[in-house]
Each structure stands twice: as structure tokens, then as C-alpha cells.
């Protein structure tokens, strides 16, 4: 499907006609757009990525909001769980130690935000302390800054509430032996001070032979009412994660076609039970002050300091020869530390100029990020090399090895300054414009210690100054219908999303650029049911991909284009029946170079997800979910194709009392054998077999 500008205008005209036809039928309906609890309203009070008090109907961008209730009902425990039920997004393996996402054909390990602030370290993000997760698709540097080529994920955390005392306790266990305990306590200390504590602990298990782990986190917050117009929130979060690193199974040659994942080894661990491990210790301190200057002007300032200490090491499959049953093993050890200081301020003003109403956003952001990273290769005793070939056995026997001295030893310092301005203009009650731009100055300095020589001090650096525009137009044929068209840009510096790839060559490379053009419709059928659609074209400039045979070799790719369509239906069909259904079509193609015409990495053409929940009685509810993911190529060379799959999930909820709920979630009800994601051509994850999780929730 080729989405030219002419076709997009034709589609927009058709959408406008549809919206106008619906206006006559729905003009007398009253639609509530300010239901903060259900996440249908994105407000500055929620401190999220949109930053202005704008109903979702008036946001010219495709987005999804996953509420706390949905996280609990579907027993989500990770960002990956959430994305499998979100249109337009796919999950990448992340080498078994980090969140990694594919949004509209673009992979990232850094496009994550926490309460609107950048959260770009590579780790698995917990969900225990969240109010909701906001998933915004399409490039938009004005709101997010650098990166976010395909979109971003923003987690909104719980804060202390000044109006009531409450507490909750959740406990769960699954058929693999994993279990979790989480608590949430809110206490009003005085008329002006409230305290809230969220904490959880988790033991990890899965279907894989040797996988396990432990993680826990604690998040105290204070809310201070400093007067009628000022409020402050202070929070601290500590996270610890210690788990086995699992990189799945290798691929196997297939006659007359691309290679495919190795089948029949769903539970087999292709690594070292003692050597595959990742640990994380993270501390995040945050303070926010919000002040209302007048009925028409308010603002906030947030300061965040975060300290991360991350280590992962692994043995993994680097190739498999089915003719000789020979497995190639490789590995490395990788420690990283990072300290992030980010300060962000926003002013939102509402005023009129003649007949036009304005919502003006003025913001600034400053960041200072310091990172150290090293890598040591494996050294197998039998080969005195970083790779070794062994016979495939079950379990896999890993020969003796050690780790070498550093083969990479770098540190980086990043300083960025951003200024952004956006005006939402109500031309009439039906027609609105969104105009804005962002200026970013990104200054990165890298010290490559292994490059130091008499003629090279090992220092690399680059300064980029970028202006990123955002344009949007919204037409509302009825109060509960909006039709929009938008254009936005973003960029990614040549040092990459983790700042450590800057070399003497990449110092001279301009940042990657992304352009997103989109038309869409948002329609609230009624107070409790909404339909959103989007037709888009995302153009990506020059980027890099690793050589599948040698990850140390980086190949430049001239660019890619993703064209697609998304639709989501969310809400209550009847008083008893709730549905969340999504579909996305993605045609993502490499433009130019050695891979010209190939599909981009890990971009399924079709993805479908449906979650139905039915309230059978006052106490009993039933749920059924289905996810379908089309086949995809692992890397841009399209040498390995992962097959499509359909997974069925189910749940039963029973309220023992008004305060206590018993919940049973069943994953992969039909015991489908499937491969949900991958990292490289020989690191492909295996899906979990039929399993169940039993949860009890109690509210005090």
C-alpha cells in the first residue's frame, strides 16, 4: 500500500464526509471528556507527555492509554505485556535484559518517559506504581525532544492523595512457580500533607529450563498543599533486578526460503546457567512544584536525578548448522553506569485574541547525562577465542570460559538544552490549529580509552542544533467527533540513543531525521465507547544496522519508509460487556543501499488484539482475549523470518466481598507454540506454553 500525499488528501476528504454525516445523528449528545480516572483526558495535572489540558479528541496524534484497571485485569507484569495488546507496536527481545520496542518500524531501547521526563537507561520497567501508561505514536520532537522516531511510551506514576486514606494489597502466583506481592498505602497526615507508599517484590520463573530471578522496588511519595495555588510532590524510587539473561533459540536453514527459528526446543536454554545474568540497582529522586498564577495561567517545574548501575553478561547462540548438529556459542560481559539530571518547566496560558481562543504552551528543558560503559568478550579455554562450536545437546553444555580485558571502554557526557513553544488555536468551535516548534541543542563528548595513542587522545565530540516543527489541524463536525491531519518531525543524534557509538567516522554524520504525516478520526460513540483511526506515513533518514554475521560491524542504511493504518475500539458495548480491540497494518520498507526494498526489522505487517470482559453477575466476570501477530523478518537483510501466530488468553474474576477480588488469568489457552520476538537472527524468543496466574486483591 502506497500512501501518497494525494491519497492521503482523498482519505481525509472521505473521513470529513463521514464525520459530517455523523454530526446530524450525534449533535444532541452530551459527551463527557474530562474523566481523568479512565484516562480519557490528558491534563497538565497528570504531568504527562501532552503537557496541556487537552481532551484526547483534540490531540492530533494517534495514541493509546492503558489504565491501572486494565493492567490489573489482564495481569500485565511488563511493558512487553502491554504492547502486545496495543495496535502499531511490536516487542523486540532486548537481549533478555531490557525493554526494547518497535514502533511503526523503528526500534528503540530509549524512547521511554516517566511522568513526562526522559527514562532512557536499558532495563525492564516495573508496573507496580503506575496510574496509567500512555503510548503516543508518530514522530514528535516538540513534546518529547530527540528520539521517539516512531513514538514514545510515558509511564504516569501514582502520587499521594490529600482527600482520603486507603490501602491495597495484591498477591499472585503462577503455574511456573513465579509469585508477586505488592502493596499501596495512602495516608493523609494533615490538611496539607499526604504520604503514599507503593512497594512490591517478585520472584521470576518461566517455561525456560534455568530461568529465574528476583526483583523488588519501593516508591514513597509526599504531596504538599502549599496554599490555594501551589502544590508540591516529592518522590523517591529504588529498584533492584537480578535475573537470568535468556536470548532464546537460534535459526535453522530452510530450503527455498529464508531461515526460520529452530523448533522443538521451546524450553531449552542456549546459554550458561551460572554465567547468564543481569543486575540493576536504580535510584530515582524527583520533585515537582505546580503553581496556578491565575485562572488563565499555570505552570510546573520538575527536577529529577537518577542513578543507574547496570550489569549484564551472557553466553548465547551465534549460529546453528543442522547438517552437523553444531551450535556456535558467543558471549560478553557489559557493565554500565549512568547519572541523569533533568530539569523541565512548563507554562500553560489560555487567552483570546479577537475571536480566536489560544492555549499556549511554553517550555524549557535542561539535561546532564553521564555514562560509563565497557565490554569484555568471552574467552573459551578450548579455542582461546570468543566463539566455540559444540554439538547440540539438551541441555546445552557450555565449555569452560573466562572474560577478557576490555574490548570496549568508553564514557560519555551529554548536555542538552531545549526550548519549545506551541499554540492550540480555536479558530471556531469546529476548527482548531496546533502550531509549534522546538529548538534542541545536543552536546555529546565521548572518551574512547582504547583508542588513545600518541596521535589520538581518544576524545570524540559533536554538537547538534535542531529545530523540529509540529503542525496539526482538527475539524469537529460534532462535539464528540474530531478529524485531524498532522505533520511532525524529530531527530536522533549520530551517537545513538545510548550515546556510546560516536567514532571518528560518526562524528561527521548528521543526525537521523524522522518525518511523520498522519490523518485520523476520533469518535466517542457515547459517553463510554470510543473509536480512533489513523492513516500515516513515517519517513526515516539514514540509520545504522549491525552485520548479522559480525555484530561489531555496523552498516549504514540510507533510510526507510513506513506506511500504515491503525484502528482501536475501546469502551463499553453494553452495561455488561467491555471491549478493547485494535488492528494495525504496517508496510515498512528499506529505501536504498544493500537492503533496498527489504522489510525493516521486526515489523509485522498485520497485528490484531481483542480483549473482551463480560460482567455475568454482580460478583462474577469473564474475559477472553486474542492476539495475532503476522510473520516478520528479524533484521534488514531479511535472512530469517519468524512465523505468524495467534494466542488466546482468558480470565475469570470473582468478588468475594466488596473489598476482595479473586482473579484467574490464563495465558495461551490453546497452548500455541510460537515465537513472539527476537533480537538477532540467532536470538529468537520462544512463547510461553499454557499457563495460569492466580491473584487475590484486597482493598482496606
Pick the range with the lowest mean pLDDT from 59-63, 183-187, 682-686: 59-63
**Residue 35: pLDDT band with limits 50, 70, 90:** very low
Q: How much is the pLDDT for 41?
A: 35
What average pLDDT does range 258-281 have in this prediction?
96
pLDDT digits over 117-149, tens only? 999 999 999 999 999 999 999 998 888 899 999
**Residue 45: pLDDT band with limits 50, 70, 90:** very low
What average pLDDT does range 256-273 have in this prediction?
95
Distance CA 349, CA 159 (A): 25
Secondary-structure percent of the chain, ordered helix, strand, coil, rounded to 5? 10, 60, 35
**Residue 550: pLDDT band with limits 50, 70, 90:** low
Q: How much is the pLDDT for 551?
A: 57
pLDDT digits over 57-85, tens only? 888 999 999 999 999 999 999 999 999 99
29: pLDDT strictly greater than 90: no
Q: Quickly name the fold that domain 5-699 has.
A: Maltoporin; Chain A (2.40.170)
Q: Which residue has the higher pLDDT, 504 or 542?
A: 542
Average pLDDT, the chain: 90
Give the DSSP letter string of 166-232.
EEEEEEEEETTS-EEEEEEEEEE-SSSEEEEEEEEEEEEE-SSTT-EEEEEEEEEEEEEE-STTEEE
Q: How much is the pLDDT for 506?
A: 59
Determine the distance from the C-alpha atom of residue 87 to the mean position of all C-alpha atoms in its chain, rounded to a whole number.
12
Distance CA 152, CA 52 (A): 17
pLDDT digits over 94-117, tens only? 999 999 999 999 999 999 999 999
Cell (9 digits) for 641: 523470518
> How many CB atoms are closer than 10 A to CB 596?
11
Q: How much is the pLDDT for 6?
A: 46
Q: How much is the pLDDT for 546?
A: 62
User: Residue for cell digits 479577537?
Assistant: 354
What average pLDDT does range 457-464 have in this prediction?
92
**Residue 257: pLDDT band with limits 50, 70, 90:** confident
Pick the range with the lowest mean pLDDT from 14-18, 532-536, 625-629: 14-18
Q: How much is the pLDDT for 53?
A: 77
Amino acid at each position: 500500500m502506497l500512501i501518497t500525499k494525494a491519497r492521503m488528501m482523498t482519505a481525509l476528504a472521505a473521513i470529513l464526509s463521514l464525520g459530517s454525516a455523523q454530526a446530524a445523528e450525534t449533535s444532541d449528545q452530551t459527551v463527557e471528556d474530562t474523566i481523568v480516572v479512565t484516562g480519557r483526558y490528558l491534563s497538565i495535572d497528570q504531568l504527562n507527555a501532552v503537557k496541556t489540558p487537552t481532551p484526547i479528541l483534540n490531540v492530533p496524534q494517534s495514541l493509546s492509554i492503558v489504565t491501572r484497571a486494565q493492567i490489573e485485569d489482564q495481569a500485565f507484569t511488563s511493558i512487553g505485556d502491554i504492547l502486545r495488546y496495543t495496535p502499531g507496536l511490536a516487542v523486540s527481545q532486548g537481549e533478555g535484559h531490557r525493554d526494547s520496542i518497535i514502533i511503526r518500524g523503528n526500534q528503540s531501547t530509549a524512547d521511554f518517559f516517566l511522568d513526562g521526563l526522559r527514562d532512557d537507561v536499558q532495563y525492564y520497567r516495573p508496573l507496580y506504581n503506575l496510574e496509567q501508561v500512555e503510548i503516543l505514536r508518530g514522530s514528535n520532537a516538540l513534546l518529547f525532544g530527540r528520539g521517539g522516531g516512531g513514538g514514545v511510551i510515558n509511564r504516569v506514576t501514582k502520587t499521594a492523595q490529600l482527600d482520603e486514606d486507603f490501602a491495597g494489597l495484591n498477591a499472585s502466583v503462577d503455574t511456573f512457580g513465579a509469585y508477586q506481592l505488592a502493596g499501596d498505602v495512602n495516608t493523609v497526615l494533615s490538611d496539607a500533607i499526604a504520604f503514599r507508599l507503593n512497594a512490591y517484590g517478585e520472584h521470576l520463573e518461566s517455561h525456560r529450563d534455568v530461568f529465574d530471578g528476583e526483583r523488588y522496588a519501593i516508591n514513597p511519595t509526599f504531596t504538599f498543599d502549599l496554599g490555594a495555588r501551589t502544590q508540591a510532590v516529592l518522590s523517591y524510587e529504588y529498584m533492584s533486578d537480578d535475573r537470568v539473561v535468556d536470548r532464546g533459540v537460534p535459526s535453522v536453514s530452510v530450503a527455498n526460503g529464508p531461515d526460520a527459528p529452530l523448533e522443538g526446543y521451546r524450553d531449552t536454554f542456549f546459554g550458561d546457567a551460572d554465567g547468564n545474568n543481569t543486575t540493576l540497582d536504580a535510584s530515582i529522586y524527583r520533585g515537582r512544584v505546580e503553581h496556578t498564577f491565575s485562572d488563565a495561567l499555570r505552570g510546573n517545574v520538575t527536577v529529577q536525578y537518577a542513578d543507574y548501575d547496570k550489569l549484564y553478561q551472557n553466553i548465547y547462540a551465534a549460529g546453528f548448522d543442522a547438517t552437523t548438529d553444531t551450535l556456535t556459542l558467543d558471549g560478553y560481559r557489559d557493565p554500565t553506569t549512568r547519572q541523569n539530571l533533568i530539569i523541565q518547566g512548563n507554562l500553560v496560558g489560555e487567552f483570546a485574541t479577537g475571536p480566536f481562543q489560544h492555549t499556549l504552551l511554553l517550555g524549557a528543558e535542561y539535561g546532564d547525562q553521564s555514562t560509563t560503559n565497557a565490554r569484555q568478550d568471552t574467552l573459551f579455554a578450548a579455542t582461546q577465542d570468543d566463539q566455540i562450536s559444540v554439538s547440540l545437546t539438551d541441555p546445552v553444555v557450555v565449555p569452560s570460559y573466562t572474560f577478557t580485558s576490555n574490548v570496549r571502554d568508553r564514557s560519555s557526557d551529554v548536555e542538552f538544552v531545549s526550548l519549545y513553544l506551541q499554540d492550540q488555536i480555536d479558530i471556531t468551535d469546529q476548527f482548531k490549529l496546533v502550531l509549534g516548534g522546538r529548538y534542541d541543542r545536543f552536546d555529546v563528548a565521548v572518551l574512547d580509552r582504547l583508542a588513545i595513542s600518541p596521535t589520538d587522545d581518544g576524545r570524540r565530540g559533536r554538537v547538534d542544533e535542531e529545530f523540529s516543527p509540529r503542525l496539526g489541524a482538527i475539524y469537529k463536525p460534532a462535539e464528540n467527533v474530531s478529524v485531524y491531519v498532522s505533520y511532525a518531525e524529530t531527530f536522533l543524534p549520530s551517537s545513538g540513543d545510548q550515546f556510546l557509538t560516536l567514532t571518528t567516522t560518526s562524528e561527521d554524520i548528521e543526525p537521523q531525521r524522522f518525518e511523520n504525516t498522519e490523518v485520523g478520526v476520533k469518535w466517542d460513540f457515547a459517553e463510554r465507547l470510543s473509536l480512533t483511526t489513523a492513516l500515516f506515513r513515517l519517513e526515516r533518514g539514514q540509520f545504522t544496522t549491525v552485520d548479522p554475521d559480525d555484530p561489531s560491524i555496523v552498516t549504514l542504511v540510507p533510510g526507510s519508509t513506513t506506511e500504515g493504518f491503525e484502528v482501536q475500539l475501546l469502551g463499553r458495548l453494553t452495561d455488561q460487556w467491555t471491549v478493547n480491540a485494535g488492528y494495525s497494518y504496517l508496510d515498512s520498507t528499506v529505501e536504498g543501499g544493500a537492503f533496498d526494498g527489504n522489510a525493516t526489522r521486526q515489523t509485522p505487517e498485520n497485528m490484531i488484539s481483542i480483549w473482551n470482559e463480560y460482567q455475568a453477575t454482580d460478583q462474577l466476570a469473564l474475559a477472553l482475549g486474542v492476539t495475532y501477530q503476522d510473520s516478520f523478518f528479524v533484521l534488514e537483510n531479511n535472512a530469517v523470518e519468524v512465523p505468524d501466530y495467534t494466542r488466546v488468553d482468558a480470565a475469570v474474576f470473582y468478588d468475594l466481598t466488596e473489598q476482595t477480588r479473586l482473579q484467574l488469568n490464563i495465558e495461551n489457552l490453546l497452548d500455541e507454540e510460537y515465537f513472539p520476538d527476537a533480537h538477532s537472527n540467532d536470538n529468537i524468543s520462544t512463547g510461553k506454553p499454557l499457563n495460569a496466574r492466580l491473584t487475590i486483591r484486597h482493598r482496606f
